């Protein structure tokens, strides 16, 4: 298991499960987004405030590997890492693990960017510190 910069504990809610009794595929994107926003918030970046200022963090690509299902009531956690892949693009690497057996449920790679109200790429200055690796001189 890799080290993660941020981790979030969650629990499956029954309404998130479909008729197969497992969490629906789409719901994992909710978990991943919520974890990213909590990570940003912990770093002082409020997605809601940015949206009100018409600065939009948007997903341009997502790759999801579904490894093992989550079921109603399952406790799980999301681990998160972040990489800058170009001046205006960053990649969140996120993995979801089940608590009961420590098994990897989902591995995800989400590429994001930021745009302003005119739809032009725009990286808010407060995001810059996120890309300085911990433990290295800035």
In the complex, which residues of this chain contact a copy of itself (CB under 8 A)? Answer: 13-15, 17-21, 24-27, 29-30, 33-34, 37, 41, 46-48, 51-52, 56, 58-66, 69, 71-73
Active site residue 95: no
Q: CA torsion sign, 50 to 54 to 55 to 61?
A: positive
Q: Which is nearer to a copy of itself, 25 or 133 (CB)?
A: 25
Q: Is 19 helix (H, G, I), strand (E, B) or coil?
A: coil
Catalytically annotated residue among 3, 9, 18, 74: 18
* Contacting residues for 104 by C-beta, under 8 A, at least 6 apart: 67, 68, 95, 96, 97
Identify which of 111, 95, 94, 91 has the alpha carbon closest to the alpha carbon of residue 103.
95
Distance in Å, CB of 26 to a copy of itself, minimum: 4
Residue 81 and residue 32 in contact, taking contact as beta carbons nearer than 8 Å: no
Distance in Å, CB of 46 to a copy of itself, minimum: 7
Distance in Å, CB of 97 to a copy of itself, minimum: 18
Q: Which is nearer to a copy of itself, 58 or 132 (CB)?
A: 58
The pair of structure tokens assigned to 96 is: 């979801």
Q: With residue 49 as reference, give the H or E element that holds it.
A: helix 47-52
Q: Which is nearer to a copy of itself, 107 or 130 (CB)?
A: 107
Residues forming the active site: 18
């Amino acid at each position: 298991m890799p080290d993660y910069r941020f981790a979030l504990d969650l629990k499956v809610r029954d309404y998130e499960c479909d008729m197969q009794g497992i969490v629906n595929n789409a719901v994992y994107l909710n978990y991943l987004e919520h974890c990213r926003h909590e990570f940003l918030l912990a770093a002082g970046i409020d997605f809601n405030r940015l949206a009100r200022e018409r600065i939009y963090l948007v997903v341009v690509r997502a790759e999801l590997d579904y490894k093992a299902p989550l079921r109603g009531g399952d406790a799980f956690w999301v681990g998160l890492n972040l990489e800058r892949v170009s001046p205006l693009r960053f990649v969140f690497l996120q993995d979801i693990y089940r608590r009961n057996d420590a098994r990897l449920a989902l591995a995800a790679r989400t590429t994001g960017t930021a745009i302003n109200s005119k739809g032009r790429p725009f990286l808010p200055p407060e995001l810059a510190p996120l890309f300085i690796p911990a433990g290295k001189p800035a």
